[in-house]
Structure 1
Amino acid sequence: MTPAPGARRPRRVEVARVVPVEASVAFAWVADLRTHPRWIVATRLEGSAARGPEVGDRCTMASGPGARRDPRSALGRLVVTDRMVVEQVERPSTAAARVGRTRLRKLGPVLLGDAGFDVVPMDAGRSRVVWWEEAYLAGPLPRAVTDPLVALALGAFMRVSLSRLSRRLAGRGR
């Protein structure tokens, strides 16, 4: 997302992890939003996605301590709703040493900006997943105040989630 002239560029938060699977498998897990609730901490997909990622697909994720609870309960209301649209999908190739990329635009109401995953082929049994976010709170507080807090929360959330993904993928062969 290109910021408006004079606007401050969102702070980039990036977390990477080597996972024990070939790049096409890792890409299938990080690009397909239907798999996210299986490895991203305290997250649910609202609605349904009929297929894997295609440019133009829209989705809503709910994340937070109450994301997996009944939304009518007090804890169930403690979630951040994240509406997104897929803007780029490039599948990886280990044979061609081609990096896989997916990029999403965050549409609010809480977070705006861009996010994505890059999957770097390493060899037939490993790849490097890079999860990046250039997200910021939609308001009403100034970004100079909220950006450091958003970056801290996103970084922790992303590290824990990528660790869960790596463990899940390591267990696939068992």
Structure 2
Amino acid sequence: MTSSRRARRVEVARIVPVDASVAFAWVADLRTHPRWIVATRLEGTAGRGPELGDRYTMASGPGARRAPGSGLGRLVVMDSMVVEQLERPSTAAARVGRTRLRKLGPVLLGDAGFDVVPLDERRCRVVWWEEAYLAGPLPRAVTDPLVGLALRGFMQLSLGRLAQALARRS
């Protein structure tokens, strides 16, 4: 049985050398995630994206970059989600861009998202946060600390890759 309490928030931030609108385009559109999120691939096809209500399934883990059915399937977490919030940033108006995804399982449940905070026309702060937890069967009191630790490392490495990719493009 899954508890209705909120998951622990894991948050990682990085200053990236591009305007907030550019960073937002990369973090809000899940089609770009395999370019910078470690060991991740998009399952299936995606439309124009991102739009409210869009549904995506990401495969993450050591075997994620391999073609489906090529082995190591047990080392891949399937993460289905739906886009529930999209607010584009504005440097001129000092408006933070926000995207929020609801995780639908089967392994992870909860929420995740990105906040893109404009600093000036050439820099912004990208905040990746997750309030995700394992769907079961172990109690969340046991799994939450481990999930948080794994997420933090995964997110730090991936945001570093995002900053490098965006620096090369600017």
1:80 match: 77
1:154 aligns with 2:155: no
Do structure 1's residue 14 and structure 2's residue 11 form an aligned pair?
Answer: yes
| 2:101 paired with 1:104 | yes
Q: Which residue does the alignment assign to 1:45? A: 42
Q: Does 1:35 align with 2:36?
A: no
What do the CA deviations read for 1:54-92 (whole angstroms, capped 9, x no partner)? 110000000000001133233244200000000000000
Asked if the contact 1:19/1:166 (under 8 Å) is kept, the reply is yes
Q: Is the 8 A contact 1:65 1:76 kept in 2?
A: no
Letter in 1 for 2:162: L
1:55 matched to 2:76? The reply is: no
Q: How does 1:59-138 map to 2 (within 5 A)?
A: 59-138=56-135
Task: Indicate the larger mover: 55-64 or 70-79.
Answer: 70-79
Does the 8 Å contact 1:90/1:101 carry over to 2?
A: yes
Identity %: 82
Q: Which runs of 5+ in 2 are unaligned?
A: none
Give me the CA root mean square deviation.
1.3
Equivalent position of 2:161 in the other structure: 164
Runs of 4+ in 1 over 6 A off after TM superposition: none
Q: TM-score, normalised by structure 2?
A: 0.96
TM-score normalised to structure 1 length: 0.94
Alignment gaps of 5+ in structure 1:
none
Q: Distance in 2 between matches of 1:90 and 1:20?
A: 21
Count of matched residue positions in the alignment of Structure 1 and Structure 2: 169
What is the CA–CA distance in structure 1 between the aligned matches of 2:126 and 2:96, rounded to whole Å?
10
* Mapped contact 1:71–1:77 kept (Cα < 8 A): no
Instruction: Work out the CA distance in 1 between the residues paired with 2:161 and 2:107.
Output: 25
